[in-house]
Amino acid sequence: MRKAKKVPLLYSLLVCVSVILAACSPGGQDNRPNIVLIVADDMGYTDLGRFGSEIPTPNLDMLANEGMVLTSFYASPTCSPTRSMLFSGTNSHLAGLGTMAEFPNERFGKPGYEGYLNFGVASLADLMTDAGYNTYMSGKWHLGLTEQTSPAARGFRRSFALLEGAAAHLGGLTAGGVDEQALYREDNGEIFSVDDDFYSTRDYTRKLIDYIDTDRTEDRPFFAYLAYTAPHWPLQAPRESIAQFDGLYDEGYEVLYRSRLSRMEQQGLLPEGATAVDPTLFTARWASLSAEEQRTQSRRMEIYAAMVSDMDRYVGELIAYLQAVDEFDNTLIFFMSDNGADPHSVDFGPLAAGLGEWIARCCDNSFENLGAGDSFVAYGPDWAAVSGGPFRGDKTSVYEGGIRVPAFVYYPTAIRAGQTNSAPTSVVDLLPTFLELAEAELPSSRYRGRDIHPPAGTSLVPIFEGEIDSVHENDYFAREYYGNQSLRKGDWKIVLMPDPAQESLWQLFNLVNDPSEQNNVAAENEATMAELLSLWDEHAAAVGLSQ
């Protein structure tokens, strides 16, 4: 297994200075690749055409088909913990998002639980800046609300950031009801609100293109982070975008679920042994819904599809720009979702309880107005089950449906078209991957005069270059979210999902034989269970969960 080397801080600084001078010296040409990281928000595993969807996503499908699909890529169960792991290369419980800022628990405010990307880690954007890259971000930050914890403070040269976890896609309404208007910050300027003609997917993309284009004369490679808020609720899209899907979902979620699994199988992405969800597990059979209920449910999925399709459309604009300036072939593009599909609904459950008063005050959810900037709906658990496909669970869950996300990489310099890799990989691997491509060193336990948790991920470059199939042969993958716990090593995975109504016990699954996690085989495999539980105790101690 090849990892970037860890070296003393002073040597790392000298390397970075030499890289910058070489890139900027007369006649010097910096041939290192540009890196574009695209993150979708709450998008399920099957929502792109390349992953089985009926939603047209030709631009993203092209990137996936011309690159490498990572079929076992793991994020965190929710958004800000995933983003903290992405930017630190280590566990969210060390990076500041052991608990989300929106849902503080008894540990909130303690080290690792600050609710923002803490300073006990080195930020990916800072490290890429040190390596001589121009750094840009546009979209959802969700790693700190203050100027001191903003993207500009953590290494981005230019940034246009939604500071909160969600907001309206059309216009500037908040999505949480705490403030009337969502909070945005450009660079290190004052917090502001966007205008009514704002459309998140379009404007995030075009702002990023503008940042890249402004600095083109500097002849430096760039690291660009495009953090869409689509298709996170509230479901909103322009009328003309929604109209493209009129009537497409009138047959309901059960029919769509089966058709997506069929397409996944045709594309070679349906894991052998996967089990389709029992239709009785939908909250209601489609045929049992009234005509009006079916009509409303169909419209919600139409809006969701429009949001995914528009994301693809504007990724197409970014691709066209990179082609126009002759940078496309020297750009690595990595795409992922931040967690599994979101099953929560504004009609019932905790989301409704927290947002009901706000929705009643702000929004018009009449059928004719659904999808507008002053409407506020989600698509709910049944469409989310469709998005999750063969995998059990969804957002907040540590079953595969909550943490295994769609991911692929386009990098023509190293990756032959049409590659698929099924080895487990993780969001923490991206930081060392990008640093290796930038010819930079991983930080050790000190960075800019402070103690840090060194990155724990492993570079995926050897996989991209075809040297090896896996960089995690002997590693484990552990996740925790408010008591939901899981750990995978090799083919085996243990899961604990506490249930207040009954005794909560660890379960054991063999993901090769049972990728849908339907058969708990703990009783028949006591030695494997004991080994994985011991690894969990090791992990819990390492990240402070056992304290």
Domains of the chain: 9-474 (3.40.720.10), 483-547 (3.30.1120.10)
Max Cα–Cα distance, the chain, nearest Å: 72
The pLDDT of residue 353: 67
The pLDDT of residue 351: 64
Alpha carbon of 69 to those of 18, 78, 420, 488: distances in Å?
Answer: 35, 22, 5, 20
Alpha carbon of 50 to those of 108, 159, 263, 309, 402: distances in Å?
Answer: 40, 30, 9, 13, 20
The per-residue pLDDT for range 309-318, each reduced to its tens digit, is: 999 999 999 9
Taking the C-alpha atoms of residue 453 and residue 426, their distance in angstroms, rounded to an integer, is 17
Closest CA to 311 of 38, 34, 37: 38
* 162: enclosing H helix or E strand: strand 158-162
Q: What residues have CB less than 8 Å from 62, skipping those under 6 apart?
A: none
In 73-151, DSSP assigns E strands to 73-74, 134-140
Query: What φ, ψ does residue 38 adopt, rounded to 5°?
Result: -110, 125
Alpha carbon of 153 to those of 144, 148, 183: distances in Å?
Answer: 10, 6, 17
DSSP code, position 51: G
The per-residue pLDDT for range 160-199, each reduced to its tens digit, is: 999 999 999 999 998 766 668 999 999 999 999 999 999 9
Residue 30 three-state SS: coil
Taking the C-alpha atoms of residue 184 and residue 201, their distance in angstroms, rounded to an integer, is 15
The two tokens of residue 71 are 């079929």
The four Cα atoms 20, 23, 27, 32 give a dihedral, to 10 degrees, of 160
16 assigned to active site: no
Amino acid type, 175 = A
Which of these is catalytic: 16, 24, 93, 142?
Answer: 142
* Contact criterion met (CB below 8 Å) for 384 and 343: yes
Taking the C-alpha atoms of residue 285 and residue 423, their distance in angstroms, rounded to an integer, is 36
DSSP code, position 273: T
The four Cα atoms 123, 129, 135, 137 give a dihedral, to 10 degrees, of 10
The pLDDT of residue 306: 98
169 assigned to active site: no
Which of these is catalytic: 79, 93, 363, 539?
Answer: 79
DSSP alpha helix (H) spans, 418-469: 430-437, 461-464
The two tokens of residue 79 are 């958004």
For the chain, list residues with pLDDT below 70: 1-28, 176-179, 347-354, 547
Taking the C-alpha atoms of residue 294 and residue 252, their distance in angstroms, rounded to an integer, is 7
* 161: enclosing H helix or E strand: strand 158-162
Buried b (16+ CB within 10 A) or exposed e, 465-493: eeeeebbbeebbbbbbbeebbbbbbbebb
* Contact criterion met (CB below 8 Å) for 183 and 95: no
